[in-house]
Every structure is written in structure tokens, then in C-alpha cells.
Amino acid sequence: MADYKDLDRKVIRLGKQIVRMCTEAGSGHPSSGLSILHMTAALMYRVMRYDPKNPWSSSADRLVLSEGHAVPAVYAAYCDLGGVVGTPQRPSQLSFDDALTLRAADSVLDGHPNPAIGFPFFDAATGSLGQGLSVAAGVACSARLDETDRKVYCIVGDGESREGQIWEALDFIVDHKLTNVVTIFNANGQGQSDYVSTQQSSDALIAKLTAFGMDVKVIDGHNWDEIFAALSAEAADKPIAIVANTVKGWGVKEFQASNYHGKPLAGDQLASAMADLDAKAVELGVADAEDTPAIQVTIPAEPTKAAPEGEISAGSFADALIANGMADALEEKKLSPRRAYGAALAAMGSDERIVAMDGDVKNSTFATFFAEQHPERYFEARIAEQNMISAAVGLAQTGKIPFVSSFAKFLVRAYDQLEMAVITNANIKLCGSHAGVSLAADGPSQMGLVDLAFMRSFARTTRVDGQPACRFFQPSDAVGAFKLTELMANIDGMCYMRTHRPDVPLLYEETEQFTVGGFKHLADGEDIAIVAGGYMVHVAREAMEIIEEKAGLSASLVDAYSMPLATEEILRIGDDCRGQILVVEDNYSGGIADELAAAAAKSDLGVMVHSMYVSDIPKSARTPEETLRMAHLSPEDIANTVQKIFDKSEG
């Protein structure tokens, strides 16, 4: 039997620090940290092949702490190990006492794992529960593509395993045979407000994990022999899941008296906790032992294969269409943007950074072109959008550029995961298809309508480097979709593209350029400026014919395909059109009209911004024309609204 005295000594030291740092912060989850203390120490001082001085290594093993609130354990160890934080350009080394800066405004030791603020030991922000295992799966997909043997360890809470996404992640891990993921379920038996349900008991977890196809190992999570035996096991055909029975608040009596969660100790309680841990040291026979570095890890060699760099090209629009069996569209000059997305994605697949995912609708989003041409870099996510997004974060954080598609409506399913991706500053590219009411027949359960309001929030939020947290694009034709897909690949950061279902005429030549913040001034009129995006650009064009024919009015037309949007320039176009702008959108409110109104309301130009949008919950109809009429967004409705605005402004 091995001697673990140095580690026993270490967990006493770290245990005390965990308690102290939460007391210092005035908040935090010391009891959760103590429950994973032994496993964390085993991983960070022995098992993981990594260098705490180089958290940016692309061959080292990784730890994803899905139950993010237990992070004081990791922080305490990483500080003890003198781990490096910051950026590769501006690295800095932590000291043991830096752990006491937990949650301070100027500390990188955020309340929950948060790599974007300078804690690169972690791949993704966690803390919204149930997402880490999917991130780990994404990192593992990346490792396989990179042909490294890095392992990804992921610690999941037992209460957390109630989140359905955990089971989506397990299905994904088994489907893709990701035996390089080692999942550790921390079964301490307690949640925040109560003991965990029997459905999340250790026994229940063992049964469930076995049924999901995992190789399950059950251990005492505070027993070194059992921990090391489980962590050093090599996965055969099944991925390994470890169910670790642990004690929440290990070593501290106060924490174990009842269900104890998320509160620090103060005063006498703190002193008593220190005494408890001292007593534990005596019990373990290490009361008088010296603390040693204790780290015995292998530092893996950096990969020799250089990652590709430079601009990514989708090549020629025409070539890509022909290559994917859509030569007819060039003749007919008509195609749905979603098909162009698929063609651009497949064409860019020659670059090894590009990977793609889709949730069982690839034949609708046209990710299918990529899946067929680059099967090794296509990860079918099945009907589980939450796992898909978080796995994409894992891929992005390890150098891949994941393009992720589904119906815009189904991506709503992963809005929390998208917000965590924003916090992580993950370089993921989203395509939400079948947006707006032009999907028609399938009805509101399949229509992406709230995506503009949600994504615009992030387009107006700034990340650490001053760039928008998300760029939003809405192409009105296939050329735009093609070019914007290519643009997204070359942007550093999260992008969301919204495509609609129907075929529409090509509005642009292949030479047309599209940019972040750009728009297209499609027509120059005098009486009003109509601003639209996506499918509504076509509806607006029809409306303009009616307006001109019936009322003799001429309208400017702006294709507002980007968010952030060049609002000042568009307001000036409105200013030239009798100061009247009408925005027409096939989404719920919160999109382009609000973006322009927010700018207009603090501008001195005095431009009026009127808007038409989906203001009733839609229902099915058999054609887009019908759903548009039902939403009062038909060309005739737009023409009537223009007439009323004109009458009023002239009246």
C-alpha cells in the first residue's frame, strides 16, 4: 500500500485554505470544495499530465469543473502549485496566499470558473449547472482530431446530475466513443436546499450510468488508493464514469451537522473549523509533517503538428453551389440562404480548423453537405441542443472553429448555454435556420421569433477585449448567406446567423462584400426609408412596388443584415427621406427597430422610427404569404402603413 502522507498533509493545508478563502470573500461554497478536495488533489498533484506553469498547452490533460461552485478546492491547489494565470502575452504566477483574493473585484479567482477574465486553467465558464460534461466532450473531440492523447477529467455534482444535459452529454460521449473523457460524479448526497433525491443517490447514479453505457467505478472519494485506482484505469471500449462517495464539508464538523451549502464561516466557527482540520491531521498522522510541493506530474510535450493559420476561404459562390448539386440556382437566380450556408460550410471544410455540429436537422439546415464531405470533423449531436452548444464551446476553446446549426427555434433550447459561451468568450458560430414566420406550415413551435431580442442583448454587450460579445447576421439572399458564413469563420468570437426557409431571388452579385456592422442601401427613395432584414427584404421590395404604383411614393430600402448596426448612417438615410423610417421584421420585438429607435431617441436628427413586427403569436398556414398576412406583415400591410405614416407626417 502506497504512502500518501504528503498528500494527507496537503489536503489539510488546502482544506484550511478553502475555509479561509470563503471567509475572506464573505461568500462561497467551502463545504462543496471540501467534498472534492481529495480528488482534486489527486488530479492536480499526481494524475493529470500538465504543467501548472503553462495552462495554454494544447497537449496537456484538462479538468472541467462542472459543479463550478466547488471551485475553491481548485483555486487553493492551483495557488499552492504556483499556477500561472493571465494571458500568454501577460502571464503571472499565483502564490499560496492569492487564494485569499477569492471573488475580489481585481482577482482572477472569480466566484465560479471563469477563464475569460484570466484563469486559463479552465476551458469554460461553469456555474450554471449541468454544462461542464458537454464542454469536456467537446475538448475530447478536439483532442481526437489533434491526435493528442490528452485526457479530460470532469467533476459533476450528484445534485447537478439532475440536469438533463448531463445525460445528453453521456449519450454524446458514448456515441462518439470519447474514452478520453473521465467523468467523476461527486456523490456527497447534498444539494443547496436539501439532501439530493434518491434519484440522484450513489446507487441510482451507478444504475443509470451503467444503462447509459459507461464503465462505472465506485469509490470512496476520500480514499487515495481507491481514487488512484479509478483515475489510472484505462478505458477499454466504454468510457469511464467514477461514482465517488464523498463527505460534504470533509474534515469540518460544522459543515456536517446538517445540509450545509454556500455559506462561509466566521469568528468562532472559523476557529473551530481550523481545530477540526488540525484534529484530522493528527488522525492522519501528519500533524507534525512538513508541507512539501507534493506534485509529481508528467509534463507532456507540446504537439509538433502546427495548427493551420490565416484567412479561411469558402472560394467562389458558383463553384460551391455546383459542387453541392445546386447549379440550377445559378440559372434561376433563386436559392434559400440556408442552402448557401451549407455550401459555404462544406467549402471551408478544407481548413482543418472548421468543424460542424447539428441536432438531427442537417438535411434542413444543409450542414449535411459538410457532414458528407468531412465526416471526421462532423459531430452529429442528435436531438439535444444544450449538449451541442456546450460541446461546441469545448471545441472552440481548443482551437477549432465550430459551426453549429439547428432551427432558430430549437437553439432557444440552449440559450443558457449560449450565455455561458458568451461569458467564456467562445469562438462558436451559430446558424439558426427556418427563422421568422416564413416557415409557415409547421407553426409557432418551429418558428424562430425571439432570437433577435436575445442575440441583440449580446451584440450590445462588450467582452474583455472591447469587441461585441456576439455578432448577429441575417442574410437576405444566398450570396449574403454564403459570404457571411465565410465572414463568421474569420471573426474571432461568437456569431449567430439567422436564415429563413424559402427560396428567394438572389439580390447580390458574387462580388458583393459583407462586413460586421454593414448594411446595404438597396434603393434610394425620397418619402420614407424602409429597413428590413432577411426574408422581409423581399417582402419590402414587393411593398415598394405597391407604394410606388398606388401612392406615387418612393422609398429607400436598407438591408440591415448585421447587428451591431451602423445606426447613425441609417438614421441619416431616414433623415433624407422626410425623416421617416419604417422597420419591418418577421420576429418578435426587440430587434432592428429597437436598435434604430434606441439610436434615434438619443440623436438630434429627429428621425422617426416606426416599426412592424410579429406582434401576435402566429399559427400555421400553408404558405409564407398567408402567415405574413396573418401577422399583418404582407406587402399590402406594409404599403398601407407607409401611406398612413406619409399622411400623418404631411398632415
Residue numbers 163-202 binding a second copy by CB under 8 A? 163-168, 171, 174-175, 191-194, 196-200
Strand, helix or coil at 15?
Answer: helix
- Sketch the per residue contact string, 97 through 136, with a second copy: x for CB under 8 A, - otherwise: ------xxx-x--xxx-x-xx-------xxxxxx------
Q: Is 573 exposed, middle or buried (0-12, 13-18, 19+ CB in 10 A)?
A: buried
Smallest distance, a second copy to C-beta of residue 191, A: 5
What size, in residues, is the chain? 651
419/576 with CB nearer a second copy: 419
Strand, helix or coil at 346?
Answer: helix
Of 160, 168, 385, 595, the catalytic one is 385
Q: Which stretch binds a second copy (CB under 8 A): 284-292, 322-330, 357-365, 636-644?
A: 357-365
Q: Where are the alpha helices (DSSP H) in 153-284?
A: 164-175, 202-211, 224-231, 253-256, 267-284
298/615 with CB nearer a second copy: 615
CA atoms within 13 A on the CB side of 63: 32
The DSSP letter of residue 129 is T
Judged by CB under 8 A, does residue 467 bind a second copy? no
The DSSP letter of residue 306 is P
At 519, list the grid cell.
448594411
The DSSP letter of residue 46 is I
Structural element, H or E, at residue 218: strand 215-220
Residue linked to cell 509533517: 289
Judged by CB under 8 A, does residue 605 bind a second copy? no
197/292 with CB nearer a second copy: 197
- Sketch the per residue contact string, 47 through 86, with a second copy: x for CB under 8 A, - otherwise: ---------------------x------------------
- Sketch the per residue contact string, 567 through 596, with a second copy: x for CB under 8 A, - otherwise: ---------------------xxx--xx-x
CA distance linking residue 513 with residue 562, whole number of Å? 13
Q: Which stretch binds a second copy (CB under 8 A): 282-290, 302-310, 560-568, 601-609?
A: 601-609
Count the site residues for a second copy by CB under 8 A.
120
Determine whether 385 is an active site residue: yes
198/304 with CB nearer a second copy: 198
Strand, helix or coil at 180?
Answer: coil
Q: Which 138-157 residues touch a second copy, going by CB under 8 A?
A: none
Q: Which 376-395 residues touch a second copy, going by CB under 8 A?
A: 380, 382-384, 386-387
Residue linked to cell 489533434: 146
Smallest distance, a second copy to C-beta of residue 381, A: 9
Q: CB count, 10 Å around CB of 274?
A: 16
Judged by CB under 8 A, does residue 363 bind a second copy? yes
41/156 with CB nearer a second copy: 156
295/621 with CB nearer a second copy: 621
Judged by CB under 8 A, does residue 621 bind a second copy? yes
CA distance linking residue 563 with residue 572, whole number of Å? 18
Judged by CB under 8 A, does residue 636 bind a second copy? no
Strand, helix or coil at 39?
Answer: helix
Q: Which stretch binds a second copy (CB under 8 A): 307-315, 408-416, 486-494, 529-537?
A: 408-416
The DSSP letter of residue 634 is S
Strand, helix or coil at 308?
Answer: coil
At 23, list the grid cell.
471567509
Query: Is the distance from CB of 580 to CB of 558 less than 8 angstroms?
Result: no
Apex 78 CA angle, 73 and 79, nearest 5: 100
Judged by CB under 8 A, does residue 350 bind a second copy? no
100/488 with CB nearer a second copy: 100
144/382 with CB nearer a second copy: 382
Q: Which 422-461 residues touch a second copy, going by CB under 8 A?
A: 422-423, 425, 441-446, 449-450, 453-454, 456-458, 460-461
Q: Which 192-251 residues touch a second copy, going by CB under 8 A?
A: 192-194, 196-200, 204, 207-208, 210-213
Apex 341 CA angle, 401 and 529, nearest 5: 115
Smallest distance, a second copy to C-beta of residue 317, A: 25
Query: Is the distance from CB of 68 to CB of 112 less than 8 angstroms?
Result: yes
Judged by CB under 8 A, does residue 406 bind a second copy? no
CA distance linking residue 100 with residue 292, whole number of Å? 20
What backbone torsions phi and psi does residue 233 show, to the nearest 5 degrees?
-65, 140
- State which of residues 58, 93, 364, 643 lies at the interface with a second copy (CB under 8 A): 364
At a CB cut-off of 8 Å and minimum separation 6, what does 562 contact?
Answer: 471, 472, 473, 474, 514, 515, 516, 517, 518, 519
The DSSP letter of residue 587 is S
297/609 with CB nearer a second copy: 609
Judged by CB under 8 A, does residue 632 bind a second copy? no
- State which of residues 10, 16, 38, 413 lies at the interface with a second copy (CB under 8 A): 413
Smallest distance, a second copy to C-beta of residue 328, A: 20
Q: Can the peptide bond before residue 564 be classed as cis, meaning omega within 30 degrees of 0?
A: yes
Judged by CB under 8 A, does residue 500 bind a second copy? no
- State which of residues 85, 227, 600, 612 lies at the interface with a second copy (CB under 8 A): 600
Q: Which 5-44 residues touch a second copy, going by CB under 8 A?
A: 25-28
Smallest distance, a second copy to C-beta of residue 35, A: 16
166/555 with CB nearer a second copy: 166
At 258, list the grid cell.
446538517
CA distance linking residue 58 with residue 40, whole number of Å? 21
| Catalytic annotation, residues | 385
